[in-house]
Amino acid sequence: MATTLVIGNKNYSSWSLRPWLVLRQAGIPFEEVRIPLYRPGAEAELAKWSPSGKVPALHDGNIRVWDSLAICEYANERWLDGRGWPVDPARRALARCASAEMHSGYGALRGQLPMNVRREPRERHWDEAAQRDIDRVQSLWRELRGAAAGQGDYLFGDFGIADAMFAPVCVRFRGYGVPMDATVQAYVDAIYALPAMREWVAAALAETERVGADEA
């Protein structure tokens, strides 16, 4: 049976981007089902695919996985032979910590700077809570990039799950005009240079749906 990944709008769905990027960048074949969110009938359609009623959701034969990080972990075991995480145990633990921090934290950043691939920078509108999240993310990226210096362009050298988890933040930083130093800017540019990321961005820009809360 074919592997299917169910996602939301590419312009807005940060949760969908993460596992999609892992699968596409690794060249794992899958069928994509895109369900535009916040429209009449979307909840009923999502319920057919996802026990949580949310995206993303992966169907691999009889197996269903319906959380972005869980899908990445499943892909790592099913297709990547562990390559989604660093080989070294200490660095692998650090990558998992960074990914889990992104998965469960940064509420102010998420709420005040929702992902919107189409967005062009305008005036700053976020508060100090969001700025603390921004500062923490950038500090973490600088720390990880410093430790991986000379090993590649991503947080742990080669592209991996940790990078996919932070890819939507790169979209936020670029779209909202968040100030970045050279290290952070280079990392954002590296994420945008990924072939899979370029494909996602092109598709997002071609979408016509608009979600008012994410366009503010």
The CATH number covering residue 94 comes to: 1.20.1050.10
- Domain of 69, CATH number, reads 3.40.30.10
Q: How far apart are CA 27 and CA 35, in angstroms?
A: 22
Q: What token pair was written down for 107?
A: 């509420």
Residue ending a domain, choose from 53, 82, 111: 82
**pLDDT reported for residue 49:** 96
Is residue 117 domain-shared with residue 94, that is, in the same domain? yes
Query: Which domain does 140 fall in, by range?
Result: 89-199
Asked if 99 and 140 sit in the same domain, the reply is yes
Q: Are residues 120 and 192 in the same domain?
A: yes
Residues 148 and 50 in one domain: no
CA distance 9 to 37: 6
What is the count of structural domains for the chain?
2
* Token pair 């005040």 in the structure block, residue: 112
Confidence (pLDDT) at 139? 98
Residue 144 corresponds to which tokens in the numbers above? 């990880």
C-alpha–C-alpha distance, residues 83 and 80, integer Å: 5
Judgement on whether residues 192 and 150 belong to the same structural domain of the protein: yes
pTM for the predicted model, two decimal places: 0.96
In a domain, 23, yes or no: yes
Q: Give helix 195-206 / helix 14-25 axis angle, nearest 10°.
A: 140
Is 193 part of any domain?
yes
Task: List, for residues 82-98, the tens digit of each pLDDT value.
Answer: 999 999 999 999 999 99
Q: How far apart are CA 117 and CA 128, in angstroms?
A: 23
Q: What is the reported pLDDT for 215? A: 83
Q: Are residues 76 and 117 in the same domain?
A: no
- Tens-level pLDDT at each residue, the chain (216 residues): 599 999 999 999 999 999 999 999 999 999 999 999 988 999 999 999 999 999 999 999 999 999 999 999 999 999 999 999 999 999 999 999 999 999 999 999 999 999 999 999 998 989 999 999 999 999 999 999 999 999 999 999 999 999 999 999 999 999 999 999 999 999 999 999 999 999 999 999 999 998 887 786
Q: Are residues 143 and 113 in the same domain?
A: yes
